[in-house]
């Protein structure tokens, strides 16, 4: 611990204290807003967070371990320290507030203990840090429950072990790194609000699933369940273990007329096996497997509508982007599959498109997924914490080489309560044209129309179809090439 000296910083380690990254994000925001505080970060001392703290000018003691909480505050006036620390305490207390009722019974400390009293059809939702997820998820499987693993950075061998255990027990593992699921009409994670209907989705892609939900909703088609299986499920190592079980479940659900399997580019052998498996099911299966020379998500949505005999609507666009200012396409995405789809579409037209954070200021076209595991270790997903993307957005917009910026905004339960209003002030100041895809349904809590309106008023051209949005950006660049 360092003592505060006038106008300097206070850094304090709290061994054994713990709160999850989202709770600490809220605490940090609250403390940043206190009088006399210039900057504040309250975080677990993970490697990434220590880097962030160091870049903010804080000196973190080398003894810090990921099990220690760091309270770091920079003060304009050292006299404000006591008030700031009191603010930290208050915010931490509020962040750890649990629901009222049953106060005399301490909450269970493990998933296994909690499941002893749960209903037999309870689903377990795991979002602890990746290296701890297996242990909690295995509790669910041992007790005979399905589990959704929201956590990212789960080691591949853990995923394989969990999915093999699930196959033995006839249970479903959704995830890891599964952002979205709709089970029995209930949205889990980042889920859009949809009407029940004839479509059932199996998704090895969170935002890919959300794009389909949004497009189908716009066309008036409901979805009875959406089972996320995690982005690696169709890799050679995992072999589609969860996709198989999920398809089997949709096949036995009388509400499902058409099953859809949506995935990031799969391993060819796994795709072939699943295609064979799907062919033997009673329910028809539409494959929406992304890849070069494969249909994009919007085309897949159109195929689904056609198979159901529903007319394909116009995909809405609000606002009009101005001409490109520079030559380069720059995409800053929070949705991994949306970033991937955009990259596939852009590569077909532009050739090389970089996907690393550094490429955003490099000499070429670039599309980056801010939800990538490497950028979320020890911090909240960008759908919840927009800080990192907003920082980079300003940087990219200031680069004269930038011609058009493409962004995504994802709505639904679990996502930021009002993402458009956080993004709009930044957009309003830009002279570069910005194309935004808003992925959401008319029933989402954020209000799809209002979100679109706020972004359009800030100068963005807003699409519902991510593929169309990317093509529109290419069109603008083309006129500048």
Partner 1 sequence: MSTVVNVGTDLLAEGVEAQAVDVVRVDWRPPMPGTDTDLATVVADPLRHEANQRAVAAMLGVTARLVDVAPASEVLGLERGQFLHAGPPIDWERASGPLRGALMGGAALEGLVEDPEDAVALFESGANVSLEPCHHRSAVGPMAGVVTPSMWMFVLEDTETGRRTYCSLNEGLGKVLRYGAYGPDVLTRLRWMRDVLGPLLQSAVRSTRDAAGPVDVTGILTQMLQMGDEAHNRNRAGTLMMMRDLSPAMVTSGFDTADVAESMRFIGGNDHFFLNLAMPACKLALDAARGIEGSTMVVAMARNGTDFGIQVAGTGDEWFTGPAQLADGLFLGSYGPEDANPDIGDSAITETAGIGGFAMATAPAIVRLVGGTVPDALATTRRMHEITLGENPRWSIPVLDFQGTATGIDVTRVCRTGILPQINTGMAGRVAGVGQVGAGLVTPPAEIFPQALARLAERTRERAGA
Contacting residues toward partner 1, per CB under 8 A = 18, 20-23, 65-67, 98-99, 105-119, 121-128, 131-132, 134-136, 138, 140, 142, 145, 150-151, 155, 158, 161-162, 164-165, 183-184, 186-189, 191, 380, 384, 413-414, 445
> Considering beta carbons, is residue 115 or 407 the nearer one to partner 1?
115
DSSP assignment of 135-188: HHHHHHHHTT--EEE--S---HHHHHHHHHHHHHHT--EE-SS--EEEETTEEE
**CA atoms in the 13 A half-sphere facing the CB of 399:** 22
Q: Which residue has the tokens 């209002």?
A: 450
In the complex, minimum distance from the CB of residue 297 to partner 1, in angstroms, rounded to a whole number: 24
What is the rounded distance in angstroms from the CA atom of residue 370 to the CA atom of residue 389? 7
In the complex, minimum distance from the CB of residue 243 to partner 1, in angstroms, rounded to a whole number: 20
In the complex, minimum distance from the CB of residue 166 to partner 1, in angstroms, rounded to a whole number: 12
Q: Could you tell me which of 452, 454, 460, 334 has the C-alpha nearest to residue 387?
A: 334
> Considering beta carbons, is residue 43 or 476 the nearer one to partner 1?
43
> Considering beta carbons, is residue 177 or 286 the nearer one to partner 1?
177
Helices 466-478 and 336-350 meet at what angle, rounded to 10?
30
> Considering beta carbons, is residue 193 or 270 the nearer one to partner 1?
193
In the complex, minimum distance from the CB of residue 331 to partner 1, in angstroms, rounded to a whole number: 26
In the complex, minimum distance from the CB of residue 242 to partner 1, in angstroms, rounded to a whole number: 16
> Considering beta carbons, is residue 163 or 244 the nearer one to partner 1?
163
> Considering beta carbons, is residue 33 or 155 the nearer one to partner 1?
155
In the complex, minimum distance from the CB of residue 260 to partner 1, in angstroms, rounded to a whole number: 21
What is the rounded distance in angstroms from the CA atom of residue 333 to the CA atom of residue 355? 11
Distances 394 to 200, 390, 426 between C-alpha atoms, Å? 40, 7, 7
What is the rounded distance in angstroms from the CA atom of residue 190 to the CA atom of residue 336? 13
Q: Residues 148, 149, 154, CA angle at the centre, nearest 5°? A: 155
In the complex, minimum distance from the CB of residue 210 to partner 1, in angstroms, rounded to a whole number: 14
Contact 276, 268 (CB under 8 A): no
What is the rounded distance in angstroms from the CA atom of residue 260 to the CA atom of residue 354? 30
Q: What sections of 231-364 are H helices per DSSP?
A: 241-252, 268-279, 297-308, 336-350
Contact 98, 109 (CB under 8 A): no
What is the rounded distance in angstroms from the CA atom of residue 152 to the CA atom of residue 93? 27
Element of type H or E holding 217: helix 206-218
In the complex, minimum distance from the CB of residue 215 to partner 1, in angstroms, rounded to a whole number: 22
In the complex, minimum distance from the CB of residue 461 to partner 1, in angstroms, rounded to a whole number: 30
In the complex, minimum distance from the CB of residue 234 to partner 1, in angstroms, rounded to a whole number: 22
Both tokens of 220, joined, read 């008036």
> Considering beta carbons, is residue 140 or 321 the nearer one to partner 1?
140
> Considering beta carbons, is residue 138 or 430 the nearer one to partner 1?
138
> Considering beta carbons, is residue 20 or 257 the nearer one to partner 1?
20
Q: Strand pairing of 328-333 and 285-289?
A: unpaired
> Considering beta carbons, is residue 187 or 335 the nearer one to partner 1?
187
Helices 387-397 and 419-428 meet at what angle, rounded to 10?
20
């Amino acid at each position: 611990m360092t003592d505060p000296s006038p106008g300097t910083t206070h850094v304090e380690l709290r061994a054994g204290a713990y709160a999850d990254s989202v709770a600490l994000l809220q605490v940090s925001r609250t403390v940043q807003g206190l009088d006399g505080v210039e900057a504040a970060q309250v975080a677990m001392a993970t490697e990434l967070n220590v880097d962030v703290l160091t870049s903010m000018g804080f000196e973190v003691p080398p003894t810090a371990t990921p099990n220690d909480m760091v309270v770091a505050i920079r003060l304009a006036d050292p006299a404000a320290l006591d008030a700031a620390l009191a603010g930290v305490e208050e915010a931490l207390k509020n962040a750890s507030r649990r629901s009222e009722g049953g106060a005399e019974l301490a909450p269970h400390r493990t998933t296994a203990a909690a499941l002893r009293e749960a209903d037999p059809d309870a689903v377990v939702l795991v979002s602890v840090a990746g290296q701890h997820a297996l242990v909690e998820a295995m509790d669910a499987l041992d007790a005979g429950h399905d589990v959704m693993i929201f956590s990212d950075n789960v080691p591949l061998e853990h995923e394989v072990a969990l999915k093999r255990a699930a196959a033995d027990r006839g249970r479903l593992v959704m995830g890891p790194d599964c952002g979205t699921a709709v089970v029995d009409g209930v949205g889990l994670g980042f889920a859009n609000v949809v009407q029940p209907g004839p479509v059932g989705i199996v998704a090895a892609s969170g935002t890919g699933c959300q794009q389909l939900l949004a497009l189908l909703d716009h066309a008036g088609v409901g979805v009875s369940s959406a089972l996320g299986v995690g982005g690696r499920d169709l890799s050679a190592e995992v072999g589609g273990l969860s996709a198989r079980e999920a398809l089997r479940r949709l096949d036995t659900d009388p509400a499902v007329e058409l099953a859809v399997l949506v995935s990031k580019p799969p391993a060819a052998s796994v795709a072939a096996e699943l295609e064979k498996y799907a062919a033997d099911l009673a329910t028809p299966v539409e494959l929406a497997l992304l890849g070069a020379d494969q249909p994009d998500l919007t085309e897949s949505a159109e195929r689904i509508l056609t198979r159901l005999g529903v007319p394909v609507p116009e995909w809405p666009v609000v606002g009009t982007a101005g001409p490109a200012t520079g030559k380069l396409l720059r995409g800053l995405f929070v949705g991994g599959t949306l970033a991937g789809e955009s990259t596939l579409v852009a590569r077909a037209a532009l050739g090389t498109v970089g996907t690393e954070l550094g490429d955003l200021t490099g000499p070429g076209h670039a599309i980056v997924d801010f939800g990538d595991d490497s950028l979320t270790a020890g911090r909240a997903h960008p759908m919840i914490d927009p800080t990192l993307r907003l920082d980079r957005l300003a940087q990219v917009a200031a680069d004269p080489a930038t011609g058009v910026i493409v962004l995504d905004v994802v709505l639904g339960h679990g996502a930021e309560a009002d993402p458009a209003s956080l993004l709009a002030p930044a957009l309003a100041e830009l002279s570069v044209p910005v194309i935004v895809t808003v992925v959401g349904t008319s029933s989402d809590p954020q209000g799809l129309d209002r979100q679109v309106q706020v972004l359009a008023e800030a100068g963005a051209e807003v699409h519902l179809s991510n593929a169309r949005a990317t093509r529109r950006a290419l069109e603008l660049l083309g006129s500048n090439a």
